[in-house]
Structure formats: structure tokens, C-alpha cells
Amino acid sequence: MFAITIADRQSSIGIDAERLESAVALVCSDRGFIQGAISLAIVDDPTIRDLNRRFLNHDYATDCLSFVLECREGFLEGEIVVSSDTAIRRAPEYGLSAAEELLLYVIHAALHLTGYDDTTPAAAAEMRAREEHYLRQFQQAPRVGPVALVATCAAEAGPL
């Protein structure tokens, strides 16, 4: 069984905790993980910027961070951090609500936790296809708009 905990450390948007937990659980179970613990923190830009600087030496806010703490056959422990401020700022570019943009960030980070990467064009295309697959599971259309980029999640930096 998966234990998924959410820490909502922002007040800018309302969070559908059940939807976000379900997204993480679905991605993990589809990748063969049947046990584990995932923490999900929804934070503001200053907080995610500090974490990005501290763990990845990137001095800017990002949309999501993911940290694999332990991974072995059938078991995954990790942390996901997403920025509500970034979701609010970027969602209008794609015709989405901030909550919809935030769901994309959670799915993107969960994909990173389960082994996907987006460091090459082919890998990014595969990851984008998986994001769209999961967004459809939650009756959400993929991004549309002037910029056709996937989330710029920083991953695998180490524990918080």
C-alpha cells in the first residue's frame, strides 16, 4: 500500500488533495510500485526557489522538484514539491486553471520519481505522452497554447 501525504504550505489556490493523491498513486502503481511513501508539498515560489538553490544549485523558482529517497523492486519512497505561484502564473498561457496546471506538475514529478526523464528530445516526447495519458485519466485536456513545453521539473537532487 502507498502512503501519500500532502503538506499544503501555500494559500494562493485551493487544493483537491484527493485528486493529487490519486494522480501520484496511479503513476506509481502503473510503474509497478505497490508499496511506498510519497510526500507532496505545495509551496510558494520563494520556498521552491530556496530548495532548488539548496539542492540543485539553481537560483530560480521552478514548477516542481522530485527527490527519490529509496527505490527497489515494488517499493518507492520519495518527495515531490510543486509551486502554486508558478502554476498561477503559467496556467493562463495554456488556457488552464491553476489547479489544472498544478496537477500537471504533480504528474510530471511523479513520472520523474518512477524513472522517467526528459533530458533528450525522445525522452521528453515520451514523458509528454505519459503526462497526457494521466491528464486524460482525470478528465483534463493537455496543455494548449503558445508554448509547447513540458514542465521544467528538477529531479533526483537528494532528500529535503
Q: Which tens digits make up the pLDDT trace of 114-158?
A: 999 999 999 999 999 999 999 999 988 777 654 334 344 444 444
**Burial class for 32, CB neighbours closer than 10 Å (0-12, 13-18, 19+):** exposed
Cell of residue 66, nine digits: 522530485
CA dist 127 and 55 (Å) reads 23
| Average pLDDT, rounded, for the chain | 90
* Higher per-residue pLDDT: 153 or 101: 101
Contact 9, 42 (CB under 8 A): yes
Please determine, for residue 30, whether its predicted confidence score (pLDDT) is greater than 80: yes
Q: Which of 78-87, 101-110, 149-158 has the lowest mean pLDDT?
A: 149-158
Q: Which of 25-34, 48-57, 84-93, 133-142 has the lowest mean pLDDT?
A: 133-142
Produce one character per residue of 63-95: b if its CB has 16 or more CB atoms within 10 Å, e if not.
bbbbbbbeeeeeebbbbbbbbbbbbbebbeebe
Please determine, for residue 6, whether its predicted confidence score (pLDDT) is greater than 70: yes
Q: Percent of the chain having pLDDT more than 90?
A: 83
Fold (CATH) for 2-155: Collagenase (Catalytic Domain) (3.40.390)
Domain parsing of the chain, residue ranges: 2-155
pLDDT band at 159 (very low <50, low <70, confident <90, very high): very low
Q: What is the largest CA-CA distance in the chain?
A: 40
* Higher per-residue pLDDT: 85 or 149: 85
